[in-house]
Structure formats: structure tokens, C-alpha cells
Amino acid sequence: MKKLVVSILVLSLVITGCINKKEVKETKKEEVNSNSNSVVIYFSATGTTEKIAKRIAKQANSDIIEIVPKDKYEDKDLDYNNDCRANKEQNDPKARPKIKNKIDISKYDVIYLGYPIWWGTNPKIILTLLDSYDFTDKVIFPFCTSGSSDISGSVSDLRKYNSKLTIKDGKRFASNSSEHEIIDFVDRSNIEMNSLNKETSKMKVMIDNKEYTINLEDSAAAKKLVELAPFETKMEELNGNEKYVYLSSSFPVDSYNPGHIEQGDVMLFDNSCLVIFYKSFDTPYSYTKIGHIDNLPNLGDKSVKVKFEE
Ligand SMILES: Cc1cc2nc3c(=O)[nH]c(=O)nc-3n(C[C@H](O)[C@H](O)[C@H](O)COP(=O)(O)O)c2cc1C
């Protein structure tokens, strides 16, 4: 079975021609523009991710910092058909390959985090990075290159690894990705940051007599909720991750598929179903975002009494 998986992987890499051993780079560069609040931080063993990283940094007008491994990955270390170092690290839950350079993330709000896909996920050195610095107040937009695998496996692994981090869905790039794809990725991240920054007004909410604050979006749906308050309602349990109620009023809808729900997200499903999520998970459904409750605990498996206050 392992041999079959290896053969499929090799075939997909041969077809897409993404492994080019000649691309192994010799020089390591770091470019820091003092005014930027975004940075591209990337790991690249054979140069493919590096090329995309530089294009993203140029488009976003960001600084760019390479994650330089203390022990450089030579060709033999990446020979995934054999029992190479990269394979051993990927199979070892405790592997945290050392990083040679110091990476100062203190002045950045937005981190574009790039890496190649190794065995369906991020290389372990990305976990070393997350362990080494405090990313809690940052918004991370991941990107990857690969023979064919997409980025979603690594994104859900990273979210599971540290659920306190804000990790957006990210994007996989082929080595020959168009300029349009780069522009689209950066534009979308800017739109997401704008909507995060607009979370300014607040609403008090009592859930089973405990007080929380909803940080409201600057949206018509959030304004509608403020208009309706104060009101009290029972919210039913669903799927071990949400409490919901169908309200008699219909809300203005601006729905999209967020890809990922964060614990504490307050969303509108359809045009009248108000939902409070108390667990993070990936979703295929579309919602209109109303706001977010910080530090919302697991609300348990029963219905709850909820009072939205003015
Ligand atoms: C150890 C190893 C495992 C890999 N596993 C995958 C994989 O699971 N799926 C895939 O599409 N590509 C896989 N690749 C291919 C790389 O993701 C791809 O060549 C990537 O663009 C290399 O980026 P880099 O040049 O920045 O290191 C693997 C490569 C290596 C070395």
C-alpha cells in the first residue's frame, strides 16, 4: 500500500514536473521594508515556493523573510522514494527541525506563510516556526506549492496544532501560476483584513446567565441584530458545535462560504437563522457574518437561554 501511494505521488510529480533538483538555491535573502505591516515568511527546499513568495511580497508590498533551516536540505534529504530525512521528519510527530535565522514578527499584523507540501501537509519546520514566536495577534494567510496536492490538509493540520491562531484558508500555487492568481490572493487577503478591522461595535449577550461580548461586524445584518435587541430566546443545540434559533424577522444577507468557522463566531444562516458556534471546524456552508464572541467556551450539548442586550 505504501509503495502504491509512493508511486502515485511520484507519477503526479513527474506529470506536473514540479521537482527540479537544479532549482536548489545557494543564497538566502531577506528584504525588510520598514513601513510594511505585512510580511511573507517562507520555507523553500528547492526554490519553487521561494519564487511564488517573492511574487506575493512584490504584489502585497510586503517584507519577505526566509525560514533558513539550520541543517540545509540536500538532494538526498528530499529523495522521498527512499527513507530520506524529509520523510523521517514527516513521520515523526516530535520532529522540529531547527531554524538558523532569527525571525522578527513583532511589527507585522499580516503574515503570508509559504511552504512546499510534503506528504500532504506542511514540512515540520513550519511547526518549529509556530513554536518559536507568538503569532496569536497575527492573521496568517498560508500559501504553498506542490506537485498536485492542495493546501487544505496542511491548513487544517496547522489549525489543530495551535487552535489559538488565526489561520485563513490560504492557496496552493503551481510553479507557473499566473499573475492573476497572485493578485487575486493578495486582494482577497486585503478584503478579509478590512472586514476584520471593521469589527468595532460591541453587543452584550447573556448565555445561560453568563455575560459575553459580541464584537460586531460593520454589516447590515449586524445592525439588524442591534435593532432587534434587547430580546431573549432559546437557542437549540446542533451537531455538537452550534446553537441556533430561527427568528421571525428576516435579515439582510451577504453570505459567503468562510471555509472555516472559529469558536465564538456569530453567523446568520439563510436569512433568519441566528447561529452561535462554540467549536471551530471547516464548513462547506455559506453564512452572513454578524460578529465574534471572544473566549466563548464549549456550550455543551443542551439548548441554551440567550439574551441579546442593547
Ligand atoms: C519529501 C517530499 C514530499 C512531497 N510530498 C508531496 C505531496 O504529498 N504532494 C504533492 O503534491 N507534492 C509533494 N512534494 C512535491 C513538492 O511539494 C513540490 O515539488 C514543491 O513545489 C517544492 O517546493 P520547494 O521548491 O519550495 O521546496 C513533495 C516533495 C518532497 C521533497
Ligand 1 touching residue 44 (CB < 6 A): yes
Its domain, for residue 138, covers: 2-197
List the grid coordinates of 141. 494567510
Residues 161 and 280 in one domain: no
Give yes or no for residue 148 CB within 6 A of ligand 1.
yes
Ligand 1 center from residue 179 Cα (angstroms): 22
Residues in Cβ contact with 110 at an 8 Å cutoff, skipping those fewer than 6 apart: 37, 38, 39, 62, 138, 139, 141, 189, 193
> Are 183 and 211 part of one and the same domain?
no
- Share in percent of the chain as helix, strand, coil (round to 5): 30, 30, 45
Q: How far is the CA of 296 from the centre of ligand 1 (A)?
A: 38
pLDDT at 194: 76
CATH number at residue 159: 3.40.50.360
Cβ neighbors of 243 (< 8 A, separation 6 or more) are 235, 236, 237, 275, 276, 278, 299, 303, 304, 306
Asked if residue 6 and residue 151 are part of one domain, the reply reads: yes
| Cα 299 to ligand 1 centroid, rounded to whole Å | 40
Question: Looking at residues 54-69, what average pLDDT do you find?
Answer: 97
Residue 144 beta carbon below 6 angstroms from any ligand 1 atom? no
Residue 47 Cβ contacting ligand 1 at under 6 Å: yes
pLDDT in tens, 170-199: 999 999 999 999 999 999 899 888 767 655
Burial (CB < 10 A; 0-12, 13-18, 19+), residue 86, is: buried
pLDDT tens-digit profile of 209-261? 999 999 998 888 998 999 899 999 999 999 999 999 999 999 999 899 888 89
Indicate whether 1 pLDDT > 80. no
- Beta bridge partners, 185, equal none
Please count the structural domains in the chain.
2
Cα separation, 74 vs 24, whole angstroms:
8
What is the tally of helices (H) and strands (E) in the chain? Answer: 7, 17
Sequence-ordered alpha helix ranges (H) in the chain: 2-16, 48-60, 85-91, 125-132, 152-161, 179-197, 220-228
Alpha carbons 276 and 290: distance in angstroms, whole number? 10
What's the Rg (C-alpha) of the chain? Answer: 22
The mean-pLDDT minimum among 16-20, 136-140, 199-203 falls in 16-20
**138-168 residue pLDDT tens:** 999 999 999 999 999 999 999 999 988 999 9
**274 confidence band (pLDDT: 50, 70, 90):** very high
Span from the CA of 144 to the centroid of ligand 1 (angstroms): 9
Inter-CA distances, 304 with 178, 266, 273, 278, Å:
49, 15, 15, 12
Question: What pLDDT is recorded for position 219?
Answer: 85
Residues 44 and 172 in one domain: yes
Mutational pocket test of ligand 1: of 117, 172, 176, the residue with most ligand atoms within 8 Å of the beta carbon: 117
CATH number of residue 237's parent domain: 2.40.100.20
Predicted confidence band of residue 134 (pLDDT cuts 50, 70, 90): very high
Residue 147 CA to ligand 1 centre (angstroms): 6
Do 117 and 21 share a domain, yes or no?
yes
Does ligand 1 have an atom closer than 6 angstroms to the CB of 122?
Answer: no
Same domain flag for 60 and 128: yes
DSSP state of 74: -
Residues 51 and 163 occupy one common structural domain: yes
Ligand 1 lined by 174 (C-beta under 6 Å):
no
**6 and 135 housed in the same domain:** yes
Examine the domain organization and report whether 166 and 281 are in the same domain: no
Are 148 and 7 in a shared domain? yes
Among 197, 220, 239, identify where a domain stops: 197
Tell whether the model's pLDDT for residue 29 goes beyond 70.
no
Indicate whether residue 244 lines ligand 1 (CB < 6 A).
Answer: no
Quick one: which H or E segment has residue 244?
strand 242-246
Do 281 and 296 reside in the same domain of the chain? yes
Read off the pLDDT of each residue in 263-267 and give the average, rounded to a whole number: 96
| pLDDT of 285 above 60 | yes
Task: Tell me: do 215 and 175 sit in the same domain.
Answer: no
> Is 80 exceeded by the pLDDT of residue 93?
yes
Among 150, 170, 197, give the residue marking a domain's end.
197
pLDDT bracket for residue 112 (50, 70, 90):
very high
Last residue of a domain, one of 197, 229, 251: 197
Out of 20, 44, 119, mutate this one to test ligand 1's pocket (max ligand atoms within 8 Å of CB): namely 119
